[in-house]
């Protein structure tokens, strides 16, 4: 019989999360409210009984109350989170990862990739460690108990449990001959992943054991003495995601550049680095200033009481007496979860951003060009008609659906499955960008319900980096943070998922404020460096003589981009390579001109950019665009179409203030299209802006 017939991949009939006591269990239940198929079981008598004792206790309760449940997942989470005190009120299992879902959710999802035997059984895992391995290739078909291990060296063996299997070491599934705790061994050992499976007969037999002991110490001894057959499944590779301290929260979950981590904070923050701020309610603080290494969390407890806990990043509440000093044992038992979850569940995140005008260097930022020769782009973030035209709002909703609303398109859709989210590669689908943003941020349908509202308050196909900046704003609002490097990377990923392609200048142009020179070096991984050039001189010049005109010609940049990349690939007579060098040189010339307040140098850079774009792809312009330029040629110093060209917005630098007025008057009188119009614009000094409500 083929192996597939012995297995099923259904979800667990029941998931159990264990807690140290009734108070902790109450908190876990509050955070899991509304989730079907999950129960919380505290250790009996409000006393810790060890992971084996907690397992036996859970199995006894299942036997009596849920006898029909055949496939069970037990996640042990009875710790106090003393080394991650910012989440002590919630529990380490409920620390949110980058996609907003908790460690618990990620562990549960990982375990659901296991293939359980037809007769079911029980899987046990730790609630604060996520093993990352090939779950779908684990064999749990042997009777009795099966652990999971991977090969590693002495430095890991001395920190973990180790399986001894004798001559069968290289087999995928081997009989266990011994199990050692943190031994000093030479060579390669089989390191315990913490995952353990009991078949149904063994789980039933375990209910007769005493409620005490550790499942990774006492239980292996019972198994080796004949309690049940004992095997280990050997996987080739494994690493662990574990947040064991406040510093690791910053290092693994925080903003790498500023070395800060912020979660559910409703206050203005001024942070010096190595800071963690969690669960700050609206109205409690107007502004919080944290020196380097300072952290803060607020814990609601009792009747309308708050503990505003300030601590240091390397404080260890487990060993240095701080847990007792602040009476946290008693306070945590009296947490007001209604108030705590109000901080976390009423969050509305609003991201707004400017658009960008590229003055020189565009296309050098586009893969694979930038991967091969590096990119250099000069662009400026701008508001239109006094507003940031890109806006995304993400709010929690009561059910598990995802509603997407486009204010500018006047459309809405309710997503009701993961399958709908995964269908995101059609760029003509108006929801594709949001679905891709959900995908690249790791969102999984059913983890939480969301209302997502998007708005791009300017014409479609504008050439102002709209779709990329909208994607970056959507990602920022979903994550609740706005780190430029992270947004740039994830937006590139989004564009690959949508199959629209594109470079990195658009998202960085809108996410970062003002006038900047953006540079990257050759390589598969593009690290973007930005140089702020100062905007006072350019702002004055643009206010006097700058014009931004929508031509009325709409186009999709991806169509032009495909021809550009085809030309780059063919590179006839090395001409494409010469043009990219010229694009980058224009960008450097323009940046130098802005720094030196050199009007002539800036004009030459912009005009050189427009020339090179047309040489790269004649589709960058068209007959109607050329007619507009011809009409105003005698009054202009520089002109270019923003973005890839082919239509969209035209940036004009008039030769004088008076001539700027003549251009405006002429094109308002002789409109080439009913959609054509001038937009007032100004340099934006903020970049992306994130607001929590």
Domain tally, the chain: 3
Residues 227 and 324 in one domain: no
Please indicate, yes or no, if residue 690 is contained in any of the structural domains. no
- Domain of 230? 3-241
Please indicate, yes or no, if residue 692 is contained in any of the structural domains. no
Q: What is the 3-state secondary structure (H, E, C) of 195-222?
A: EEEECHHHHHHHCCCCCCCCCCCHHHHH
The beta-strand segments (E) located in 257-389 are 260-265, 268-271, 275-280, 287-290, 294-301, 305-312, 348-353, 355-360, 375-384
Question: 219, 241, 263: which is the final residue of a domain?
Answer: 241
Residues 392 and 335 in one domain: no
Residues 21 and 100 in one domain: yes
Question: 345, 375, 407: which is the final residue of a domain?
Answer: 345
Quick one: pLDDT at residue 1? 26
Pairing of strands 402-406, 449-456: parallel
Residues 132 and 31 in one domain: yes
Residues 100 and 171 in one domain: yes
DSSP 496: H
Quick one: pLDDT at residue 3? 28
Tokens of 241: 């995601």
Quick one: pLDDT at residue 9? 38
Quick one: pLDDT at residue 5? 30
Quick one: pLDDT at residue 555? 64
311-363 confidence digits (pLDDT tens): 999 999 999 999 999 999 999 999 999 999 988 875 788 999 999 999 999 99
Residues 593 and 662 in one domain: yes
**What is the rounded (10 degree) CA torsion for 584, 587, 588, 589?**
120
Question: For residues 420 and 290, what is the distance between their CA atoms, to the nearest angstrom?
Answer: 43
327 contacts: CB under 8 Å, gap ≥ 6 = none
Residues 305 and 376 in one domain: no
Helix (H, G, I), strand (E, B) or coil at 286: coil
What's the chain's length in residues? 693
Residues 486 and 613 in one domain: yes
Q: What is the DSSP string of 577-641?
A: HHHHHHHHHHHHHHHHHHHTT-HHHHHHHHHHHHHHHHHH-GGGS-HHHHHHHHHHGGGEEEEEE
Please indicate, yes or no, if residue 210 is contained in any of the structural domains. yes
Q: For the whole prediction, is pTM greater than 0.85?
A: no
Quick one: pLDDT at residue 86? 97
Q: Are 385 and 458 in contact (CB under 8 A)?
A: no
Helix, strand, coil % over all residues of the chain, rounded to 5? 35, 30, 35
CA angle 369, 370, 374 (to 5 degrees): 125
Question: For residues 232 and 163, what is the distance between their CA atoms, to the nearest angstrom?
Answer: 8
Tokens of 418: 């993961």
Helix (H, G, I), strand (E, B) or coil at 272: coil
Q: Are 74 and 123 in contact (CB under 8 A)?
A: yes
Quick one: pLDDT at residue 330? 96
Q: What is the 3-state secondary structure (H, E, C) of 150-177?
A: EEECHHHHCCCEEEECHHHHHCCEEECC
Question: For residues 358 and 502, what is the distance between their CA atoms, to the nearest angstrom?
Answer: 14
CA 252 to chain centre: 12
Please indicate, yes or no, if residue 201 is contained in any of the structural domains. yes
Please indicate, yes or no, if residue 691 is contained in any of the structural domains. no
Please indicate, yes or no, if residue 272 is contained in any of the structural domains. yes
Q: Is 338 exposed, middle or buried (0-12, 13-18, 19+ CB in 10 A)?
A: exposed
Quick one: pLDDT at residue 558? 63
Tokens of 661: 């007025």
Residues 49 and 139 in one domain: yes
245 contacts: CB under 8 Å, gap ≥ 6 = 83, 84, 314, 316
Residues 42 and 97 in one domain: yes
Question: 217, 241, 265: which is the final residue of a domain?
Answer: 241
Query: Quick check: bond before 417 cis, omega within 30?
Result: no
**What is the rounded (10 degree) CA torsion for 172, 178, 179, 184?**
-100
Helix (H), strand (E) at residue 390: strand 390-397
Please indicate, yes or no, if residue 689 is contained in any of the structural domains. no
pLDDT per 10-residue tile (average), the chain, 693 residues: 33 93 95 89 93 97 93 94 96 86 91 91 95 91 96 93 78 92 93 96 96 94 96 92 94 88 88 95 91 98 96 95 96 96 81 96 93 96 95 86 91 92 84 94 86 92 90 93 89 85 89 96 92 93 96 73 84 91 96 97 97 90 93 96 88 97 95 92 94 75
Please indicate, yes or no, if residue 693 is contained in any of the structural domains. no
**Residue 6, CB half-sphere, CA atoms under 13 Å: how many?**
8
428 contacts: CB under 8 Å, gap ≥ 6 = none
Quick one: pLDDT at residue 114? 93
Tokens of 341: 């979850």
Question: For residues 547 and 591, what is the distance between their CA atoms, to the nearest angstrom?
Answer: 20
**Residue among 86, 89, 85, 105 at smallest CA distance from 97:** 105
Residues 74 and 211 in one domain: yes
Q: Is 437 exposed, middle or buried (0-12, 13-18, 19+ CB in 10 A)?
A: buried
Residues 577 and 635 in one domain: yes
Question: For residues 333 and 192, what is the distance between their CA atoms, to the nearest angstrom?
Answer: 33
């Amino acid at each position: 019989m083929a192996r597939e017939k012995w297995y099923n991949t259904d979800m667990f009939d029941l998931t159990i999360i264990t807690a140290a006591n009734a108070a902790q269990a109450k908190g876990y239940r509050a955070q899991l409210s509304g989730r079907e198929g999950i129960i919380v079981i505290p250790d009996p008598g409000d006393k810790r009984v060890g992971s084996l004792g907690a397992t036996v206790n859970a199995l006894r309760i299942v036997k009596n109350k849920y006898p029909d449940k055949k496939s069970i997942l037990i996640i042990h989470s009875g710790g106090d989170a003393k080394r991650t005190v910012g989440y002590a009120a919630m529990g380490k299992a409920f620390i949110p990862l980058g996609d907003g879902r908790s460690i618990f959710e990620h562990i549960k999802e990982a375990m659901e990739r296991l293939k359980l035997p037809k007769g079911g059984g029980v899987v046990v895992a730790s609630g604060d460690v996520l093993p990352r391995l090939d779950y779908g290739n684990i064999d749990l078909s042997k009777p009795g108990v099966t652990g999971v291990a991977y090969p590693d060296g002495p430095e890991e063996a001395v920190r973990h449990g180790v399986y001894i299997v004798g001559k069968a070491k290289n087999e995928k599934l081997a009989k266990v001959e011994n199990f050692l705790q943190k031994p000093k061994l030479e060579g390669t050992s089989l390191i315990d992943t913490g995952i353990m499976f009991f078949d149904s007969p063994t789980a039933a037999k375990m209910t007769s054991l005493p409620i005490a002991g550790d499942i990774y110490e006492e239980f292996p001894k019972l198994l080796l003495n004949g309690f049940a057959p004992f095997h280990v499944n050997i996987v080739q590779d494994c690493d662990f995601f574990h947040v064991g301290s406040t510093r690791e929260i910053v290092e693994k979950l925080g903003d790498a550049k500023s070395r800060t981590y912020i979660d559910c904070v409703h206050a203005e923050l001024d942070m010096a680095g190595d800071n963690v701020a969690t669960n700050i309610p609206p109205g409690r603080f107007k502004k919080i200033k944290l020196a380097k290494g300072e952290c803060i969390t607020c814990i609601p407890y009792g009747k309308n009481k708050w503990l505003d806990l300030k601590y240091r990043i390397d404080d260890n509440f487990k060993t240095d007496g701080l847990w007792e000093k602040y009476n946290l044992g008693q306070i945590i038992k009296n947490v007001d979860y209604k108030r705590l979850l109000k901080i976390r569940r009423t969050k509305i995140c609003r991201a707004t951003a400017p658009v960008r005008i590229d003055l020189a260097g565009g296309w050098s930022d586009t893969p694979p060009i930038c991967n091969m020769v590096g990119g250099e782009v000069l662009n400026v973030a701008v508001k239109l008609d006094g507003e940031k035209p890109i806006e995304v709002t993400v709010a929690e909703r009561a059910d598990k659906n995802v509603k997407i609303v486009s204010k500018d398109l006047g459309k809405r859709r309710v997503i009701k499955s993961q399958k709908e989210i995964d269908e995101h590669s059609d760029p003509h689908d108006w929801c594709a960008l949001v679905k891709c943003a959900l995908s690249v941020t790791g969102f999984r349908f059913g983890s939480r319900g969301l209302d997502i509202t998007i708005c791009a308050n300017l014409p479609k196909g504008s050439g102002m980096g709209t779709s990329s900046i909208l994607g970056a704003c959507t990602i920022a609002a979903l994550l609740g943070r706005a780190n430029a490097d992270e947004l740039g990377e994830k937006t590139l990923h989004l564009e690959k998922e949508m199959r629209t392609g594109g470079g990195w200048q658009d998202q960085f142009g809108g996410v970062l404020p003002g006038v900047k020179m953006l540079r990257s070096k050759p390589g598969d991984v593009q690290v973007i460096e930005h140089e702020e050039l100062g905007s006072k001189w350019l702002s004055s010049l643009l206010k006097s003589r700058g014009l931004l005109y929508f031509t009325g010609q709409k186009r999709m940049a991806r169509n032009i981009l495909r021809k550009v990349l085809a030309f780059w690939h063919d590179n006839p007579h090395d001409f494409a390579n010469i043009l990219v060098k010229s694009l980058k040189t224009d960008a450097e010339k323009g940046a130098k001109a802005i720094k030196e307040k050199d009007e002539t140098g800036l004009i030459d850079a912009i005009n050189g950019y427009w020339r090179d774009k047309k040489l790269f792809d004649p589709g960058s312009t068209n007959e109607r665009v050329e007619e507009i330029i011809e009409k105003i040629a005698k009054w202009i110093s520089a002109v270019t179409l923003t973005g890839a060209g082919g239509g969209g917005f035209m940036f004009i630098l008039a030769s004088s203030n008076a001539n700027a007025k003549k251009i405006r008057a002429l094109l308002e009188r002789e409109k080439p299209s009913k959609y054509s119009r001038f937009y007032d614009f100004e340099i934006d000094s903020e970049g992306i802006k994130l607001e929590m409500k």
